[in-house]
């Protein structure tokens, strides 16, 4: 069972959370370190209750509200929440 969860989480990571690139950092104006921290929060903390959310299934306008609603559930600090939002908006495909 633990193995199944690990495999599922792994495949979700490779498909659902693009790795941070210099272009992503440049386009978003956020540092690569901050985006990488946000990605780490996303793939480790947002899979506790459901599968990794699909970034493109929600608009840039909707994401801040979703993150405001989910951050207390995932027990995120203000810095984690801020990095997560930056990552999601930077990783979202137009
Ligand atoms: C403690 C459990 C829990 C954690 C942790 C959690 N979620 Fe959720 N999430 C839920 C539940 C329950 C729902 C469905 C009901 C709802 O929308 O409130 C949901 C729904 C969602 C949806 C669909 C919302 C919609 O409007 O369709 C998204 C996107 C989402 N979560 C993103 C996240 C992100 C990003 C994180 C990490 C910060 C996260 N969740 C962490 C419990 C959780």
Convert the pLDDT of each residue in 6-45 to its tens digit: 554 444 444 589 999 999 999 999 999 999 999 999 999 9
Distance in Å, CA 70 to ligand 1 centroid: 5
Spatial neighbors of 43 by CB under 8 A, at least 6 apart, are: 9, 12, 13, 17, 52
Ligand 1: which residue has its CA nearest to atom 41? 46
Atom from ligand 1 closest to the CA of residue 75: 5
Distance in Å, CA 89 to ligand 1 centroid: 17
Convert the pLDDT of each residue in 67-79 to its tens digit: 999 999 999 999 9
């Amino acid at each position: 069972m633990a193995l199944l969860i690990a495999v599922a989480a792994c495949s979700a990571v490779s498909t659902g959370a693009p790795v941070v690139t210099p272009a992503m950092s440049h386009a978003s104006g956020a540092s690569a370190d901050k985006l990488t921290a946000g990605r780490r929060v996303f793939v480790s903390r947002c899979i506790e209750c459901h599968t990794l959310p699909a970034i493109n299934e929600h608009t840039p306008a909707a994401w801040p509200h979703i993150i405001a609603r989910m951050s207390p559930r995932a027990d995120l600090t203000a810095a984690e929440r801020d990095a997560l939002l930056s990552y999601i908006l930077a990783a979202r495909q137009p």
